[in-house]
Structure formats: C-alpha cells, structure tokens
Amino acid sequence: MRPPISQEQESLLGELRAELRQHHRRGRLLVAVDGRDGAGKTLFADALADALRDDGSTVFRASADDFHRPRAERYARGRTSAEGHYRDSYDTEALLERLLRPFRAGAPFVRATHDLGEDRAVAPEAETAPADAILVVDGLFLLRPELRDVWNWSVWLDAPLDVAFGRMAERDGSDSDPLAASNARYRAGFDLYLQDGDPRGRASVILDNTDPRHPVRVFRDFC
C-alpha cells in the first residue's frame, strides 16, 4: 500500500495536472516520469496517475521495468559495463512498438514484454485505450534520443546520489555507497545517459524529489 500523500504533494500534483491539461485537452496522451534509479519515479508516477484520474480522466500506468531485455543481452558487454547498462538494459523497440505507438494510435497494446525477476518473455492480453486517455510511464532512460519525441509531456525527478543509492539499498539490498564498486555500472551508465542530448533539460517539468513528501519544482535559468 502506498503511503498517503502530503498536502504539499497534493497541491503540486494538482498544479501539474492543470498544466498538462492546459496544453493537452483531449486525445491519447503519453506522459513519462524519468530520473535516476532511486529518485522515486514509481511512487511519483502512481500519485500523478491518481491525480489525473481525479478530474475524470481515463489513466493507464506502465513501467519501463516491464520492457527489459533478457539477462544475457543486458550483460553481454560485461557485468560492470556502464555502456551495457545504458545501451542494453531496455528493449526500447518493444516499448515503442508494443506500447507507446499503439496506445497513441488507438491500436491494441501490451504493458509488458518481459518478467525481470524470472528473466522470461511474457505475453499479457492486449488492451485498447479510448479516444481520450493518458498513459503514465515511469522508468530509466525514457528521454533518450530514441524515445524523447514520442512523449506529450514529461517529468524529471532529481535526488542526490546518496539519497538515491540509499533508497536502492533499502529496496534491493545493495550497497548504499554511491562510490562502491558494485554501483559503478549504474552510476556511470546514468552519467552516459545525461551526456546523451541533455535528457533532464528536455523534460517538461523538473522536480527536486529529495523528500518525496515535500517535492520542490526546479525552474530552469535560461539567461
């Protein structure tokens, strides 16, 4: 069960909903929630989806974690490869062709192609979305060059390294030290992503999610 959201979170989510609807009144909309691992993407995306439902919108939720590549492909460049983490973790083509593009077109789509825990392909029953619907997707690398133009709107979550890796340690039992050797693949892989066309700068909204109960909007300085 998700923890109840704070009044501050509720207010911010209401502002974001109004902003999204100001730009996109109707149609099938694709919304990305991106940021480094441990930034709080899943919980935020769930809360955003609930806030969007509150105005009567039909909302679907999905996660890039259900579009991983098989383990052999993910580690083909080596267990410690940062390039492998960024380039090979996710089946970007499947995410596009099985979920995002069909959703936008009103065609049958699936919300998963791979079970990460069991490392096997899955074939869930296909769904279709009504003419006015929103798909909220959370995950790593959603604003990479191959995907960034498909989204109608996107949120980027910031969190300091120590906070993010601390959350990962609590969730996964990993080392909480960002500089630990076991974390090098993920830290450096995300750095490669940040260098690949400034994904953070391309997000519609940037939030400091250091404290999820007190998220703070970050406004870019264009001067």
Which domain covers residue 204, as residue numbers?
27-218
Instruction: Judge whether 208 lies within some domain.
Output: yes
Sign of CA dihedral 118, 137, 11, 222: positive
Domain-embedded: residue 8: no
| 162 occurs within a structural domain | yes
Look at residue 223 in the predicted model and tell me its pLDDT: 41
Is 88 inside a domain boundary? yes
175 found inside a domain: yes
At residue 64, the pLDDT reads 98
Half-sphere exposure of 175 (CA within 13 A, CB side): 11
Q: What is the pLDDT of residue 221?
A: 61
- DSSP per-residue codes, 81-96: -HHHHHHHSB-HHHII
Q: What is the pLDDT along the chain (223 residues), one digit of tens a residue?
A: 667 888 999 999 999 999 999 999 899 999 999 999 999 999 999 999 999 999 999 999 999 999 999 999 999 999 999 999 999 999 999 999 999 999 999 999 999 999 999 999 999 999 999 999 999 999 999 999 999 999 999 999 999 999 999 999 999 999 999 999 999 999 999 999 999 999 999 999 999 999 999 999 998 765 4
Q: Is residue 197 part of a domain?
A: yes
Give domain status of residue 191, yes or no.
yes
Residue 22 lies in a domain: no
CATH code for the domain of 170 = 3.40.50.300
**Residue 29 in tokens:** 């909309």
Q: How many domains does the chain have?
A: 1
Query: What stretches of 122-183 show up as alpha helix (H) in DSSP?
Result: 161-172
End-to-end CA distance of the chain: 43
